[in-house]
Structure 1
Amino acid sequence: MLRARSQVAVVTAVAMALVLPGAAPASAATVSDPIIDGLAGPLQLAVGSDGTIYVSQSFAGKLTAVGWKGATEVVSTPGAEIAGVAAEGRGTVTFTTSGETEDGLFAQVKRVLANGKVRPVADVGSYEATVNPDQVNSYGFHGLTPECAAQVPAEIGADPYLGIVESHPYSVAILPDGSRVVADAAGNDVVRVAPDGTISTVAVLPPAPSVITAELAAGVGLPECTVGKTYNFEPVPTDVELGRDGLLYVSSLPGGPEDPSFGARGAVYSVNLATGTVTRIASGFLGATNLAVGPDGTIYVAELFGGRISTVSGAGAKPLADVPFPAAVEWANGKLYATTDVFGNGSVVTITP
């Protein structure tokens, strides 16, 4: 199947990203020197009310705090991934983690208290196994004749399929009532964790359709009969943030290869918490791996494969700053924070528009 679990997609697509069409020059913005570097895959970050920066070193299974005294290891889980992180106040942090143990796969939300103790919040993997919210979505090829389907390589798959049971909690945000909302990159949904740990589905993101071109078919080994047909990719939500307007904003990096033939497929959606209504508000991003919402409603998007941070506002989307392989952005304390060079010397910088 031309699908991909989000973490795998991010890691394996970097080589392909190097050959993507060049991004348009960004607007003038000031990028600071690194606040910290040497980070192993800083895919997510959050900033506490006291200015402490919390970074998930996803490739090392660590959650790191960066304050005026330097860097401190908050959580270390070798062999597991720590992805989403949200600061709740002085020294209290919620994070998402997933991986595999002798007992099987796990996907959980946890909380670090001010005293350093780690407490479970919710088991989103179990919720996915029980509910599987995106089973309402149909992915894969649609409209192939039996003769054409027989020519499609087995590893790609010719038949459409409904959303499968798979969980990868990749981002988390905290609501004013103490609930957490989690973007599940493999579940293709946003779920809500109530203060008592009860989980419910907020919304399922729609499939991301792509029309197969001759160039793409040749590049990934598809037969000529698939040209002009549609393949519905999984949407893969990568971040969720609460806007001042009460809407959730979600970035999406659709599954499948980051091939130039697909173009810029990343998107940003708004989600109505009360109704679950999903609306695409911007698209055309080269790897939308994260977003932040400024106090004036401006949305900042990290384009991992575009090598830039872009903005979305009433005037549309436009580049803001060129930075190498940005993965996360966060607006806090009057500043825009970003992680950069996530496949090399991972760093945290600030950007001044």
Structure 2
Amino acid sequence: MRHLRSLAVGGAAVGLAVTLPGTASAHPKPSPPVTLSSSVGAPFNLEVDGPRVLIADGGPGYVGSLGSDGSVTPVVANIPGAAGVATRGAWLAYTSTVTVGEGENSVNSAAGLHIRRPGGGTVYADTTAYEAAHNPDGMTEYGPRSDDPCVQSVVGPRYTGGLDSHAYSVASNGNSWLLADAGANDLLAITDSGQISTVATFPAQPTTVTQAEADALGMPACMVGVTYDFEPVPTDVEVGPGGSIYVTTLPGGPEGPELGARGSLWKVNPSTHSVTKIATGFAGATNLAIGKHGDIYVAELFGGKISVVNSHGVSTLVNLPGVVSVETAANGTVYAGTMGMDESTPGSIVKIANGKIQSRHSVR
């Protein structure tokens, strides 16, 4: 997974383009956020399971259950790269990814989905092995659409999808599971017995470098006018009414003022395996949730807000710095998780009910 990590990454919002059918109501302006809990580090995904709120926390590396006093009790501990969690009745599924090295030299050495059966026993679906055997995006081309040596000295040559798996998010889908693989750039279906198949891959995300962008990134003149095909990076998957599947993606490169906010929301047809972009322009689309009345909520990590997508277009539900995850309950209540940046600003879980953020006193 090459995402031009050497380029600057930041957050800035740009205009949003939307084509989303259906009916949904606009949200009233929410009240200021108040936390349910400040006892989390990196709550990459949430699962609302009846009265329970489960948290996949990549900081301490566990799946935990949120208590009424704001505490978090581990349900499954010692999960390397904990990121995704989902339930189906008494079943529990969660993702893990083992990463070796740091920064530019980091490599995902193992990744997969753990499926805990009712009454005991766990099945492991090895997405790293599946990627090695099938590499679903192996025919997709990424990189610059240029053979200019100057261009390639800056961003490298054109390439096809490599071998990488980062098992990130999971959702229940009937009697199976869906997994968004942020390393393999694909959406997978996984049975309870651990059999894996490809549901969809996502197209390369092209950006044509302007003079202003080249200047902002410190690029030479040869980069102006060059189109670079970035890798799509699936970050979350949810199943909507009628079985429609929705996925958020990062654009695989800078999302700061240099190239703008380019995250997207997709609709996946499970029968034809086709993908349709229904909204774009998100600054760090790290998570999504399906609302009670057809609204789709998108967590924008770099934009510091939750956006709501419906037939009215795209609007801001609430500004929430550090937001990385969002989930909904059956009654329409929205929950969200924010990243812990340092000791003075720990991660948090908030609750948004009827367009207004409500919560109990936070604890540490």
TM-score bracket for the superposition, by shorter chain length: 0.7 to 0.9
Distance change >3 Å, CA 22–CA 281, structure 1 → 2:
closer
Q: Does 1:135 align with 2:138?
A: yes
Distance change >3 Å, CA 45–CA 61, structure 1 → 2:
same
Report the Cα distance in structure 1 between the residues aligned to 2:170 and 2:336, rounded to whole angstroms.
Answer: 17
Comparing 335-344 with 40-49, greater Cα deviation is found at: 335-344
Which among 140, 145, 148 is matched to residue 146 of structure 1?
148
Distance change >3 Å, CA 347–CA 67, structure 1 → 2:
same
Kindly indicate whether the alpha-carbon contact (under 8 Å) linking 1:31 and 1:350 is maintained by their aligned counterparts in 2. Answer: no
Once the two structures are superposed, the pairs formed by residues 203-218 of structure 1 within 5 Å of their partners are 203-218=200-215
What's 1:163 paired with?
Answer: 161
Cα distance per residue 1:293-312 (max 9 Å; x no partner): 11221100001111111111
Report the Cα distance in structure 2 between the residues aligned to 1:21 and 1:174, rounded to whole angstroms.
Answer: 31
Report the Cα distance in structure 2 between the residues aligned to 1:342 and 1:47, rounded to whole angstroms.
Answer: 21
Once the two structures are superposed, the pairs formed by residues 75-154 of structure 1 within 5 Å of their partners are 75-77=76-78, 80-89=80-89, 92-100=91-99, 105-112=109-116, 119-142=122-145, 144-149=146-151, 152-153=153-154
Counterpart of 2:52 in structure 1: which amino acid? T
Point out where structure 1 has 5 or more consecutive residues left out of the alignment: none
The alignment partner of 1:128 has SS state of helix
Once the two structures are superposed, the pairs formed by residues 1-353 of structure 1 within 5 Å of their partners are 3=3, 13=9, 16-17=10-11, 20=12, 28-30=29-31, 33-49=34-50, 51-68=51-68, 70-77=71-78, 80-89=80-89, 92-100=91-99, 105-112=109-116, 119-142=122-145, 144-149=146-151, 152-153=153-154, 156-157=155-156, 159-176=157-174, 178-334=175-331, 335-343=333-341, 344-352=345-353, 353=355
Cα distance per residue 1:183-206 (max 9 Å; x no partner): 001111001002332111000011
Counterpart of 2:34 in structure 1: which amino acid? D
Report the Cα distance in structure 2 between the residues aligned to 1:22 and 1:316, rounded to whole angstroms.
Answer: 14
The alignment's TM-score, normalised by the length of structure 2, stands at 0.84
Query: C-alpha displacement at 1:211, in angstroms?
Result: 0.9
Kindly indicate whether the alpha-carbon contact (under 8 Å) linking 1:43 and 1:342 is maintained by their aligned counterparts in 2. Answer: no
Kindly indicate whether the alpha-carbon contact (under 8 Å) linking 1:3 and 1:234 is maintained by their aligned counterparts in 2. Answer: yes
Query: C-alpha displacement at 1:35, in angstroms?
Result: 1.5
The alignment partner of 1:245 has SS state of helix
Query: C-alpha displacement at 1:253, in angstroms?
Result: 0.9
Kindly indicate whether the alpha-carbon contact (under 8 Å) linking 1:137 and 1:207 is maintained by their aligned counterparts in 2. Answer: yes
Report the Cα distance in structure 1 between the residues aligned to 2:169 and 2:84, rounded to whole angstroms.
Answer: 4
The alignment partner of 1:136 has SS state of coil
Kindly indicate whether the alpha-carbon contact (under 8 Å) linking 2:172 and 2:178 is maintained by their aligned counterparts in 1. Answer: yes
Point out where structure 2 has 5 or more consecutive residues left out of the alignment: 17-26, 102-107, 356-364
Query: C-alpha displacement at 1:109, in angstroms?
Result: 0.3
Counterpart of 1:190 in structure 2: which amino acid? L
Comparing 198-207 with 27-36, greater Cα deviation is found at: 27-36
Report the Cα distance in structure 2 between the residues aligned to 1:197 and 1:72, rounded to whole angstroms.
Answer: 27
Report the Cα distance in structure 2 between the residues aligned to 1:106 and 1:281, rounded to whole angstroms.
Answer: 32
Report the Cα distance in structure 1 between the residues aligned to 2:93 and 2:4, rounded to whole angstroms.
Answer: 26
Counterpart of 1:46 in structure 2: which amino acid? E
Query: C-alpha displacement at 1:83, in angstroms?
Result: 0.5
Cα distance per residue 1:277-327 (max 9 Å; x no partner): 100000111111000011221100001111111111112111111111111
Report the Cα distance in structure 2 between the residues aligned to 1:138 and 1:280, rounded to whole angstroms.
Answer: 19
The alignment's TM-score, normalised by the length of structure 1, stands at 0.87
Kindly indicate whether the alpha-carbon contact (under 8 Å) linking 1:327 and 1:342 is maintained by their aligned counterparts in 2. Answer: no
Report the Cα distance in structure 2 between the residues aligned to 1:94 and 1:4, rounded to whole angstroms.
Answer: 31
Query: C-alpha displacement at 1:100, in angstroms?
Result: 4.4
Kindly indicate whether the alpha-carbon contact (under 8 Å) linking 1:108 and 1:124 is maintained by their aligned counterparts in 2. Answer: yes
Report the Cα distance in structure 2 between the residues aligned to 1:61 and 1:125, rounded to whole angstroms.
Answer: 19
Kindly indicate whether the alpha-carbon contact (under 8 Å) linking 1:30 and 1:351 is maintained by their aligned counterparts in 2. Answer: no
Counterpart of 1:270 in structure 2: which amino acid? K
Equivalent pairs, count: 333
Report the Cα distance in structure 2 between the residues aligned to 1:293 and 1:326, rounded to whole angstroms.
Answer: 17
Distance change >3 Å, CA 221–CA 32, structure 1 → 2:
closer
